[in-house]
Chains A and B, each alone.
Chain A
Amino acid sequence: MSDFAQQVQALRTPLLRFARAQLRNEAWAEDAVSETLLAALEKPQAFGGQSQLKTWLVGILKHKVIDQLRRHAREATVLTPDDEADLDDALFAADGHWRERPQLWGHPEQQLRQRQFFEVLEACVQHLPPTQGRVFMMREWLELATDEICKELAITPTNLWVLLHRARLRLRECLQERWFG
């Protein structure tokens, strides 16, 4: 095996981790990563060497991940009971006021300087219900506009707003509990 092929293969594990975090399905993640490695090995000359190999591969992976989401759009948007759960009633009283005032999280610079914070953040994203996690990652990791997400997954904007709303509130709860609490 060439050096290049070895270096590419060695990055399989971290790539698989990204793919799993986004797709939340083992088979789809395996497919996305295999297609990424294959694309890289078929066209090694496309790697200019200006960026890190991993950054380049992650760029390819993002496209392959979107292909998977498109292909499995129907399954990828099935809502589990967890996906359906709304936190709003737990957070707000009937009159629309907070039951409990949100806590102060301190200065972003201080929090975000700590590596452990990002481990907690990653764990909290992983703990989102599957479909919430997929749309949240499409928005935040793949950086897709909301209309693109709707198009790829064939869902309505209203469905997407609701899922993103729930995901962001859950992420906030998780961070409050595991990091700021």
Chain B
Amino acid sequence: MIRLRGTCREVTRLVLEGEDRALTSGERWVVRLHMVICMACPRFERQVRLMREAMGRWRAYGGGDASEG
């Protein structure tokens, strides 16, 4: 059971699942509240965002062929 603000472990799981499915509004609140009070998880969230942008750019290079790009 996720408490109102969730633990870092729970919130991390939600942040990652957010890459692959739409979170429910309850889950989004848990993440948002947690991010306000946590020093570590916002960094994790930024790392995930960077990985997402990186994969997008990697795809654009022609399907995983960055070293020729």
Contacts and interface: CB of A to CB of B under 8 A. Distances in A.
Contact-residue size bin, chain B (C-beta under 8 Å from the other chain): 35 or more
B54 A121 contact: yes
B1 interface: no
Contacts, number: 108
Given A118-B57, A119-B66, A121-B66, A165 B16 contact: yes
Contacts of A105: 46-47, 50
Interface residues of A, number: 45
Interface in A79-119: 88, 91-92, 95-98, 101-105, 108, 111-112, 115, 117-119
Interface of B: 7-10, 12-13, 16-17, 19-21, 39-41, 43-44, 46-51, 53-55, 57-59, 61-69
12 contacts: A17-B65, A91-B9, A92-B7, A97-B9, A101-B43, A108-B49, A111-B54, A112-B50, A121-B58, A141-B64, A161-B20, A164-B16
